[in-house]
Amino acid sequence: MLRFTHLSKGYAQPDGFLPVLNDVSGEVARGESVALLGESGSGKSTLLHLVAGLDVPDHGTMLLNDISLTDASAQTWNRLRREHISLVFQDFHLIPTLNVDDNLKLQARLAGQLDLDFCNQLIERLGLTGLLHGLPGELSGGQQQRVAIARSLAHRPTLVLADEPTGNLDEQTAQDVMTLLIDCVRAANSSLLMVTHSPAMAAYLDRRWHLKAGELHED
């Protein structure tokens, strides 16, 4: 479903060019979950951003459902992010001025794929029923992340990209959120590529990739 080959990316710095990813390749199948592990600065988020179309690789190719993303236009990327790719961030990225209900249905509405029954299932499964009319700022970190997860899955995307979704949460909350994420991703039949530096969190997922010195290795 998602395949990237020979991806390279680096950034110009005042003291020269800094390579981050060096000829990395990988593949995630439909319904599969993959953890991307590595130390700070190893390029985990960069790889996630490239796959999400938030940044452009220097070299390499990417395919999603056999559609080439290498030379995709901005419009194509926008449509993909609206309908097929979802993002979950460490700091939630919720709209602070919309209530929980509007937040979790927003992406589905923008994609024109709102399924109220499925949304209600997600709300129930994620324990958000009593929180729907509050604002994100009134929720705890764990609650906010559950809203973000619901939002990312409400339109049943093909691929969920999560960037350290439990990084801001305490251990117990992180475990709860992780369980729910895996559970909901499976319910939506989506694939998951998750960046984390925690082996404990990575253990929840089907496969584990390690990024070291810009190179990708699988366990």
Partner 1 sequence: MKTERLTRIVWVNRVLLSHYRRHPLQAIFLLLGLTLGVALWSAVELINGHARTSYADAEQFLGADAHFWIRPTGENAAVSQQDYIRLRRLGFVELYPIIEARLQTREQDWLILLATDFMALPIADAQNNSSETATPFVGDALAFMTPPFQTAVPESLASELGINPGDQLTLTNGQRLPPATLQSRPQQGERLVVDMAAAFEVLNRDNFDYLGVTKLSASREQALRQALPEGLILTRNQQSLDLQELTDSLHIQLAAMGWLAFVVGLFIVFNAVRFSLWMRQATLTTLREMGIGLDDLALAIALEALFWSVLGTLLGGGLGFLLGNLLLPTVSSSLGSLYGAIITPTVTLTARHLLQAAIMTLLGVTVAVAGPIWLSARRSIRQQQHQTLDQQFQPRQLGVQSLSAVALLGLAALYYFQIDSVSDGFVLLALVLFGSALSLPPLLYGAFWLAARSMPASWWRLRWAMRDAFAQLPHLRIAMMALLLALVANLGVSTLVGSFRIAFTDWLTVRMSADVYVQSATLDADALLTQAPLKVQASHARTGLNLRWQDRPTEIRGVNTQAPDMRSLPLALSEPNALSQWAEQGHLRPILANEQVHHLAGVNLGESVSLPTDTGTVDFQVVGFFHDYGNPYYAFYLPKATVSQYWKNAQPMGLAIWLQDTNLQAFEPDLLDAGAEPGDWIDQRQLMSVALQIFERTFAITGALNTLTLGVAGVALFAALMSIHQQRLHQYAHWRALGVNQQEWLLIVGGPLAGMVMVTGLLAIPLGAVLSALLIADINIIAFGWSMPLNWSWHPVANLAILTTLTLILTGLTALWRVQRQLPNALIRLGGTA
Whichever of 85 and 195 has its CB closer to partner 1, that residue is 85
Contact status: 94 vs partner 1 (CB under 8 A):
yes
Q: Which of 14, 16, 112, 130 is the binder for partner 1 (CB under 8 A)? A: 112
The 215-218 sheet, strands edge to edge: 85-89, 159-163, 191-195, 33-38, 207-212, 215-218
Contact status: 130 vs partner 1 (CB under 8 A):
no
Whichever of 26 and 53 has its CB closer to partner 1, that residue is 53
Whichever of 73 and 218 has its CB closer to partner 1, that residue is 73
Contact status: 156 vs partner 1 (CB under 8 A):
no
Write the interaction track for partner 1 spanning residues 39-78; mark x where CB under 8 A is met and - where it is not. ----------x--x-xxx-----------------xx-xx
Distance in angstroms (rounded) separating the CA atoms of residues 34 and 209: 7
- What minimum distance in Å lies between the beta carbon of 11 and partner 1? 11
Contact status: 116 vs partner 1 (CB under 8 A):
no
Near partner 1 by CB under 8 A, which window of 99-107, 171-179, 198-206, 211-219?
99-107
- What minimum distance in Å lies between the beta carbon of 152 and partner 1? 9
Distance in angstroms (rounded) separating the CA atoms of residues 191 and 156: 10
- What minimum distance in Å lies between the beta carbon of 2 and partner 1? 17
Contact status: 87 vs partner 1 (CB under 8 A):
yes
Q: List all residues 6 or more positions away from 130 whose beta carbon is below 8 Å from its beta carbon.
A: none
- What minimum distance in Å lies between the beta carbon of 53 and partner 1? 8
Q: List all residues 6 or more positions away from 107 whose beta carbon is below 8 Å from its beta carbon.
A: 82, 86, 151, 152, 154, 155
Positions in the binding site for partner 1 (CB under 8 A): 49, 52, 54-56, 74-75, 77-83, 85, 87, 93-98, 102, 106-107, 109-112, 135
